[in-house]
Amino acid sequence: MTQEQVNTDKLPAMNSHEEDCTNKVLSQTPASVTAETTCHGRMDGVGHMQISWRGNEHYEGSYNFKGTMEGHPQEMSTHYTGDFVKADCGSVKPHSAAMSH
């Protein structure tokens, strides 16, 4: 992530021409955020996200989604962690969460 992405008060957009997802922050503190994502379109359902920070160099969280994908029941969950390594990522560019085609 870029420092600009870290500093923003908004969750990353998850929209494309096939999905229409909206994010709603349910709770937020300086060290954590809990949010809900509602999607309609090719993917239809509700996801819940929780992320927490330990200082400026570590984060961890989880995401759970339940709904349908192209009409088929879908349930998924993931857990993630991240650590600051260095400011220059070389040829690796920041991920753009906005999906577009």
pLDDT at 100: 42
DSSP state of 30: T
For the beta carbon of residue 49, count every other beta carbon within 10 angstroms: 19
Total-model pTM:
0.67
Q: What is the pLDDT of residues 57-76, one digit of tens each?
A: 899 999 999 999 888 999 99
- Put the strands of the sheet holding 43-53 in their side by side order: 19-29, 32-41, 43-53, 58-69, 72-83
DSSP state of 92: P
pLDDT top residue among 75 and 42: 75
pLDDT at 14: 54
Count of CA atoms in the C-beta half-sphere (13 A) of 71: 0
- Of how many residues is the chain composed? 101
CB distance 33 to 25 below 8 Å: yes
Taking 60 as the threshold, does the pLDDT of residue 16 lie above it? no
Instruction: Indicate the Cα dihedral angle 61, 66, 69, 73, nearest 10°.
Output: 140
